[in-house]
Structure 1
Amino acid sequence: MTADLARLLSDAQLWLAQAFIVFLRVGGAMALMPAFGEQIVPARVRLVAAFAFTLVTLSGTDPVTLGAATRTAVSPTLLSEMGVGLAIGAMLRLFVLALQTAGMMIAQSISLAQMFGVAGESQPAVSTLLTLGGLALAAHLGLHIKIAALLIASYDAIPPRSLPSAEVLRLWGLGGVAQTFSLAFSIAMPFVLGGLLYNVALGAINRAMPQMMVTFIGAPALTFGGLVLLTVAVPTGLLVWSGALDRFLSAPFEVHR
Structure 2
Amino acid sequence: MLTFTEAQLMGWITPVLWPFLRVLGLFTTSPLFSTRAIPVRARIGLAFLIALCAQASLQGQPTVALDSPAMLGALVQQVGIGMAIGFTVRLVFTAVELAGEVVGLQMGLNFASFFDPMSNAQTSAVSKFMSNIAMLLFIAINGHLTILMAVMKSFDAFPIGGSLMQALARARIHELGADLFASALWIALPMIALLLFANLTLGVISRVAPQMNIFAIGFPVTLVAGLAGITLTLPMMEQPLTMLMEQMMVRLAGGR
Question: Same fold judged by TM-score > 0.5?
Answer: yes
Moved more, 233-242 or 163-172: 163-172
The answer on 1:67 being equivalent to 2:97 is no
* Structure 2 CA distance for partners of 1:205 and 1:50, relative to 1, 3 Å: same
CA pair 141-250 structure 1, distance change in 2 beyond 3 A: farther
- One-letter code aligned to 1:252: L
Matched, 1:209 2:209: yes
Q: Distance in 1 between the 2:167 and 2:33 partners? A: 29
> Hey, what's the Cα distance between the residues in 2 that align with 1:193 and 1:33?
32
Do structure 1's residue 56 and structure 2's residue 53 form an aligned pair?
A: yes
1:82 paired residue number: 79
1:27 alignment partner, one of 24, 33, 50: 24
5+ residue gaps, structure 2: none
Corresponding pairs, count: 252
Q: Match for residue 161 of structure 1?
A: 161
Q: Deviations over 1:122-169 (max 9, x none)?
A: 111222222222222222222233223211111111111212545953
Q: Which residue of 2 aligns with 1:139?
A: 139
Using the TM superposition, name which of 183-192 and 137-146 deviates more.
137-146
Distance 1:167 1:8, change over 3 A: closer
- Would the alpha carbon gap of residues 205 and 223 (structure 1) be closer, same or farther in structure 2, given more than 3 Å must change? same
Q: Quote how far apart the aligned CAs of 1:35 are.
A: 1.4
CA contact (8 A) 1:110 1:226 kept: yes
Residues 10 and 65 in structure 2, CA contact (< 8 A), matched pair in contact too: no
Cα deviation code 1:149-193 (max 9, x no counterpart)? 211111111111212545953872343112211211111111111
Cα distance change of structure 1 residues 53 and 107 upon mapping to structure 2, 3 Å threshold: farther
- 1:127 corresponding residue in structure 2: 127
Counting aligned pairs with the same residue, the percent is 24
Structure 1 Cα separation of the partners of residues 41 and 100 of structure 2: 29
Identify which range, 217-226 or 164-173, moves more after superposition.
Answer: 164-173
Length-normalised TM-score, structure 1:
0.85
**97-106 or 173-182, which moves further after superposition?**
173-182
Name which of 96, 99, 103 aligns with 2:93.
96
* CA displacement 1:14-55 (0-9 Å, x = unmatched): 322332222221111221113112345443443333233322
Q: Unaligned 5+ residue runs, structure 1? A: none
Cα distance change on mapping 1:167 and 1:145 into 2, 3 Å: closer
Partner of 1:185 in structure 2? 185
- With over 3 angstroms needed to count, the CA separation of the structure-2 counterparts of 1:14 and 1:170, relative to structure 1, is closer
Q: Residues 114 and 143 from structure 1, CA distance in 2 versus in 1: closer, same or farther, beyond 3 angstroms?
A: same
CA contact (8 A) 2:101 2:127 kept: yes
Return the alpha-carbon distance in structure 2 between the equivalents of residues 182 and 34 of structure 1: 20
**Which structure 2 residues correspond to residues 164-243 of structure 1 after superposition, within 5 A?**
164-165=164-165, 169=169, 172-243=172-243
Amino acid across the alignment from 1:108: L
State the shift of 1:245 in Å.
1.0
Q: Is the Cα–Cα contact under 8 Å of residues 118 and 128 in structure 1 kept in the other structure?
A: no
User: How big is the alpha-carbon RMSD for the aligned residues of Structure 1 and Structure 2?
Assistant: 2.7
Could you tell me how far apart the structure 1 residues matched to 2:39 and 2:162 are?
Answer: 32
